[in-house]
C-alpha cells in the first residue's frame, strides 16, 4: 500500500510510533525514524525494519525545538529523497490536578505535544507544497475531545492538535495535502503501563468493545490515512477507542 513512499515518524522507538513504523515498513514505505536519545530499543527497531527490505534512517531531534524539527525534516529528505507521509506521534504526559500542577509541567506538555506538532508541520509544509502532495497524520487523543480530570495540560495539548489539524488542513488542501488526526483511546503502551490494574479494569468496563486498545489498532488507521485510500479525507479526527467516546 505504501510502496515507493517515504514516511517520517516522530517519537518512533516504542509504543504507538514503533507500531506505525513497523506497519508502514511492512507495506513498503522507507522510514525516517525520529528519536530523542540513542538507545538499545532504537537499534533493535532499525534492524527489525531493515529486515522488511525497506530503507531506514534514524534522525535524532527534540520536536519541541523548531531548529530540531527543521533538522529532522532536512535529514529525512536528504537521506531518503523526499517526504510523503509525516506522523506526529511524539508525546508526553505530566499528570496532576490543577491545584497541584506545576507551571513547568503544563509548559513541558504543551511544548512537546502541541508546539512539537506545530514545529513539525511548519518544517514539513513547504516541502509538501512544492511536491503538491503529502499526508500529515497527527496523534491527538480522546481526552482532547472529552477532557480528563488530572490531565488538563495533556488534554489541552491534544485539543490544540485538533485545532491545528483542521486549520492546516484548510491551508494545505488546495496543494493536494491531507491533514488528519487520530484520537486513540486507552492504548496499552509504556505511557499507560504506569496505571494500576484497578484503573485499567474499570476503564475496560466502560469500553463498548470490552478491551483496551493495542498499538497496532492505531497503526492500522495510520496506514489507511497514509495511503491513497484516504485521498478525499482531510481535517478529520478519527477515534480509535473501542467506541468509548461515540456520541
Inter-helix orientation angle 116-131/152-172, to 10°: 10
Residue 184 CA to residue 175 CA, distance in Å, equals 28
Q: Which stretch binds ligand NAD (CB under 6 A): 86-94, 129-137, 195-203, 225-233?
A: 86-94
Give yes or no for residue 62 binding ligand NAD (CB under 6 A).
yes
14 binds ligand NAD (CB under 6 A): yes
**CB under 6 A: which stretch of 88-96, 120-128, 164-172, 227-235 binds ligand NAD?**
88-96
**127 contacts ligand NAD (rule: CB under 6 A):** no
Distance between CA atoms of 116 and 167, rounded to whole angstroms?
16
User: Which region, judged by CB under 6 A, interacts with ligand NAD, from 46-54, 95-103, 121-129, 179-187?
Assistant: 179-187
Q: Min. distance of Cβ 174 from ligand NAD in angstroms?
A: 28
For 114-128, b/e burial (b = at least 16 CB within 10 A) is bbbbbbbbebbbebb
User: Of 164, 130, 8, which is closest to residue 72 (Cα–Cα)?
Assistant: 8
For residue 190, state whether it binds ligand NAD (rule: CB under 6 A). Answer: yes
**Sole binder of ligand NAD in the list 169, 187, 221, 239 (CB under 6 A):** 187
| Smaller CB separation from ligand NAD, 166 or 175 | 166
Q: Count of residues binding ligand NAD (CB under 6 A)?
A: 27
Cell numbers at residue 146, please? Answer: 472529552
SS3 labels along 174-231: HHCEEEEEEEECCECCHHHHCCCHHHHHHHHHHCCCCCCECHHHHHHHHHHHHCHHHC
Residues annotated as catalytic are: 154
Contact residues: ligand NAD, CB under 6 A: 10-11, 13-17, 34, 36, 62-64, 89-92, 112, 116, 139, 141, 184, 186-187, 189-192
Amino acid at each position: 500500500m505504501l510502496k515507493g513512499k517515504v514516511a517520517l515518524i516522530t517519537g518512533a522507538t516504542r509504543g504507538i510510533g514503533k507500531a506505525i513504523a513497523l506497519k508502514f515498513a511492512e507495506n513498503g514505505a522507507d522510514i525516517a525514524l525520529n528519536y530523542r536519545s540513542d538507545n538499545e530499543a532504537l537499534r533493535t527497531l532499525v534492524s527489525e525494519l531493515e529486515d522488511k527490505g525497506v530503507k531506514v534512517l534514524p534522525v535524532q531531534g527534540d520536536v519541541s525545538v523548531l531548529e530540531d524539527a527543521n533538522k529532522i525534516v532536512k535529514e529525512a529528505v536528504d537521506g531518503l529523497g523526499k517526504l510523503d507521509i509525516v506522523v506526529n506521534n511524539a508525546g508526553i504526559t505530566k499528570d496532576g490536578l490543577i491545584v497541584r500542577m506545576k507551571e513547568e509541567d503544563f509548559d513541558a506538555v504543551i511544548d512537546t505535544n502541541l508546539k512539537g506538532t506545530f514545529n513539525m508541520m511548519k518544517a514539513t509544509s513547504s516541502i509538501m507544497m512544492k511536491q503538491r502532495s503529502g499526508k500529515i497524520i497527527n496523534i491527538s487523543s480522546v481526552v482532547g475531545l472529552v477532557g480528563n480530570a488530572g490531565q488538563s495540560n495533556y488534554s489541552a495539548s491534544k485539543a490544540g492538535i485538533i485545532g491545528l489539524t483542521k486549520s492546516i488542513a484548510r491551508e494545505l488542501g488546495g496543494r493536494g495535502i491531507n491533514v488528519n488526526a487520530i484520537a486513540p483511546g486507552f492504548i496499552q503502551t509504556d505511557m499507560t503501563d504506569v496505571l494500576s490494574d484497578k484503573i485499567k479494569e474499570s476503564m475496560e468496563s466502560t469500553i463498548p468493545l470490552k478491551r483496551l486498545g493495542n498499538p497496532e489498532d492505531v497503526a492500522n488507521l495510520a496506514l489507511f490515512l497514509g495511503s491513497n485510500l484516504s485521498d478525499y479525507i482531510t481535517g478529520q479526527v478519527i477515534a480509535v477507542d473501542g467506541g468509548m467516546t461515540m456520541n
